[in-house]
Amino acid sequence: MSQTAEQELALAEESAPTTRCRILATAERFFREIGYQKTTVADIAKTLRMSPANVYRFFDSKKAINEAVVERVTREVEALIATIAAAPGLSASERIAEIVRALHSDCLERCRQNPRIHEMVEAAMTESWEVCRHHVDRILAVLVRVVTEGARTGEFAAEDPVLAAQCVHVAIVRYCHPVLVSQYPNGPAPPIEAMIAFVLRALQARPASA
């Protein structure tokens, strides 16, 4: 083993989580600037003054780096909607409305402000990367929690809260799916508030209006 490799190994063992984080932060910066497809492991390694082999000690492949960056990006909105689901003083309807708005804004903002990161999330969705399935599962879990709570208190009429939550999730796909949001920014769709009201009518024990 060369001296450099030994030094790298020592460094990696000392601070594995830190090194992992630095690789991801650097990768994300490259992805934002030149896109994930043009970024190479060599670029990332060079910026961090380490060998590509050392990057591969933390991530099996470039795809593993891509997936970890997508996970970082999607974890933010997951944390946000989990907070909304647990926030005190909101009705289940208000929670659903806020969650849908959060998912929509997150997708829209990334599409506008970080088009290259959005592109990567879009590819991840299209190619069904494992990380996306988990992201969708976690969103669904939050919706199930809120719908179940609404059914328990009688605010919602859902006989099967899991199924009802899946229906909510599918009903708002036009507003939260990276492919649809980016490809049809001006496509025909009612305003999101109208769609939220529609979804709540489907959930609520009594019609919202007589």
Contact positions toward a second copy, by CB under 8 A? 126, 128, 133, 136-137, 140, 157, 159, 163-164, 166-167, 169-171, 173-174, 177, 179-180, 183-184, 187-190, 194-195, 198-199, 201-203, 205-207, 209-210
CB of 93 to a second copy, least distance (A): 13
CB nearer a second copy, residue 40 or residue 126 = 126
CB nearer a second copy, residue 68 or residue 199 = 199
What whole-number distance in Å separates Cα of residue 141 and Cα of residue 147?
10
CB nearer a second copy, residue 90 or residue 189 = 189
Which H/E stretch holds residue 138?
helix 130-153
CB of 33 to a second copy, least distance (A): 26
Characterise 35 by phi-psi region: left (phi > 0), alpha (psi -120 to 50), beta (else): left
CB nearer a second copy, residue 89 or residue 187 = 187
Q: Is the dihedral of CA 42, 46, 47, 51 positive or negative?
A: positive
CB of 91 to a second copy, least distance (A): 18
CB of 66 to a second copy, least distance (A): 18
CB nearer a second copy, residue 3 or residue 128 = 128
What whole-number distance in Å separates Cα of residue 119 and Cα of residue 97?
27
Give 109's contacts (C-beta < 8 A, 6+ positions apart).
none
What letters, b where the CB count within 10 A reaches 16 and e where it falls short, cover 33-62? eeebeebebeebbeebebbeebbebbbeeb
CB of 18 to a second copy, least distance (A): 35
